[in-house]
């Protein structure tokens, strides 16, 4: 069997997705790669890899007999607005390098994540549809929408199997997120668990779609395992669990930590959040490959606080 390459294995999604892939396929079948030194997956074959380096990527694919790539290395929304050229180069050159190597080496499948950031102010804010107006306002969002089109182009032109999800804000405790707008929720949970107060960079009623990482990882694996003929969406699937505002999250945290207190100082990230939908219609994912989130919002808060207890933010 050909091997699986995870690009960005040390990142927020990569850390947990790599663990799940190892559980499913065995450690010998998974090669971890990241621009940084190997993190927690010490048992795996590891390659230090900058995905913008096409030649090195091709060498890694050839050397390990790679058949499938999960390409997770990306600049997120907030950091992307601070470093636009860096973000565009990483997100677009990285994806194009992956698509090209997948075409040349005839890989069987590629996974690449899109995001709710691909939507914009023209998208209906509630129940953002699978197909409709998309006018992203961040460099990150523009790169995600362009990336969706590139994936469809490669799939149509070369008959490649490229699968993708529009992730909502992902909440996790294993690895830090890389500078997103939804990170406030993780920061608030870390602060509460450490007995500290928190200052939110989003306003109290700023509602966004979110998901717990174990559900996002399972969604990814379910999508990648689904028979191709079941997948009717040619591009990236909308994916949802629940939506909440800082006020709603803090209310749930306070039921566990009554003294937890939050101040609100919205910064440039507020405008990013204001251009994103409040909720997502993921009925195509539910119909085509039976997607269902498992964690409720309060189960996520309990699980996060349990894992974070005693940790410094
Ligand atoms: C971000 O906030 O930039 C990401 C995302 C929603 O894609 N978490």
Both tokens of 74, joined, read 């990306």
Q: Which atom of ligand 1 is nearest to the CA of 138?
A: 3
CB 200 near ligand 1, within 6 Å: no
Q: Measured from the CA of 168, which atom of ligand 1 is nearest?
A: 6
Nearest protein CA to atom 6 of ligand 1, as residue: 169
177 — pLDDT class (breaks 50, 70, 90): confident
- Proportion of the chain above pLDDT 70, given as a percent: 99
Q: How far apart are CA 160 and CA 136, in angstroms?
A: 26
Q: What pLDDT shows up at residue 109? A: 97
Q: pLDDT per residue over 48-102, tens digit each?
A: 999 999 999 999 999 999 999 999 999 999 999 999 999 999 999 999 999 999 9
Report helix, strand or coil for 28. Answer: helix
| Residue 213, phi then psi, degrees to nearest 5 | -55, -40
Residue-level pLDDT at 147: 98
The pLDDT value recorded for residue 97 is 98
The Cβ-side half-sphere exposure at 16, using a 13 Å CA radius, reads 20
pLDDT digits (tens, 9 = 90+) for 7-58: 999 999 999 999 999 999 999 999 999 999 877 788 899 999 999 999 999 9
Q: Would the pLDDT of 312 be above 70?
A: no
Over residues 154-171, mean pLDDT: 98
According to DSSP, the β-strands at 242-244 and 208-212 are antiparallel
Question: 298: number of CA atoms within 13 Å, CB side?
Answer: 5
Instruction: Give dist(CA 291, CA 222) in Å, integer.
Output: 8
Residues 165 and 219: beta-carbon distance below 8 Å: yes
Q: Which atom of ligand 1 is nearest to the CA of 115?
A: 7
pLDDT at 310 over 80: no
Average pLDDT, the chain: 96
Q: Rounded CA gap, 305 and 256, in Å?
A: 9
Gap from CA of 62 to ligand 1 centroid (Å): 32
Q: In what order do the strands lie in the sheet with 169-171?
A: 169-171, 208-212, 242-244
Nearest CA to ligand 1 atom 1: 180
Whether 231 has a pLDDT exceeding 90, the answer reads yes
- Contact by Cβ (8 Å): 221, 24: yes
Q: Which of 14, 73, 76 to mutate to test the pocket of ligand 1 (most atoms within 8 A of CB)?
A: 76
Whether the per-residue pLDDT at 140 is higher than 80: the answer is yes
Q: Quick check: is 264 catalytic?
A: no
First to last CA, the chain: 41
């Amino acid at each position: 069997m050909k091997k699986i390459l995870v690009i960005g294995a040390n990142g927020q999604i990569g850390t947990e997705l790599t663990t799940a892939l190892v559980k499913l396929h065995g450690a010998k079948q998974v090669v971890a790669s990241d621009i940084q030194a190997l993190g927690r997956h010490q048992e795996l074959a590891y390659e230090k890899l900058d995905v913008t380096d096409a030649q090195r990527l091709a060498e890694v694919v050839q050397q390990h007999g790679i058949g499938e790539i999960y390409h997770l290395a990306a600049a997120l929304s907030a950091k992307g607005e601070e470093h636009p050229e860096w973000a565009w180069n990483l997100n677009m050159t990285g994806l194009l390098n992956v698509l090209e190597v997948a075409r040349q080496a005839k890989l069987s499948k590629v996974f690449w994540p899109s995001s709710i950031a691909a939507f914009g102010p023209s998208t209906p804010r509630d129940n953002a549809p699978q197909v409709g107006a998309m006018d992203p306002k961040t460099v990150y969002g523009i790169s995600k929408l362009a990336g969706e089109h590139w994936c469809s182009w490669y799939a149509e032109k070369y008959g490649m199997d490229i699968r993708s999800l529009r992730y909502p804000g992902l909440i996790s405790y294993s690895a830090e997120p890389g500078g997103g707008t939804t990170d406030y929720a993780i920061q608030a949970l870390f602060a509460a668990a450490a007995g500290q107060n928190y200052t939110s960079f989003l306003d109290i009623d700023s509602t966004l779609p979110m998901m717990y990482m174990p559900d996002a990882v399972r969604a990814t694996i379910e999508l990648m395992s689904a028979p191709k003929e079941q997948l009717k969406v040619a591009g990236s699937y909308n994916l949802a669990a629940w939506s909440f505002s800082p006020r709603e999250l803090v209310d749930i945290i306070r039921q566990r930590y009554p003294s937890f207190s939050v101040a609100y100082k919205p910064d440039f990230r507020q405008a990013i959040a204001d251009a994103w939908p409040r909720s997502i219609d993921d009925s195509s994912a539910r119909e085509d490959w039976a997607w269902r989130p498992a964690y409720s919002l309060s189960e996520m808060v309990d699980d996060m606080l349990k894992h974070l207890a005693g940790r410094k933010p």
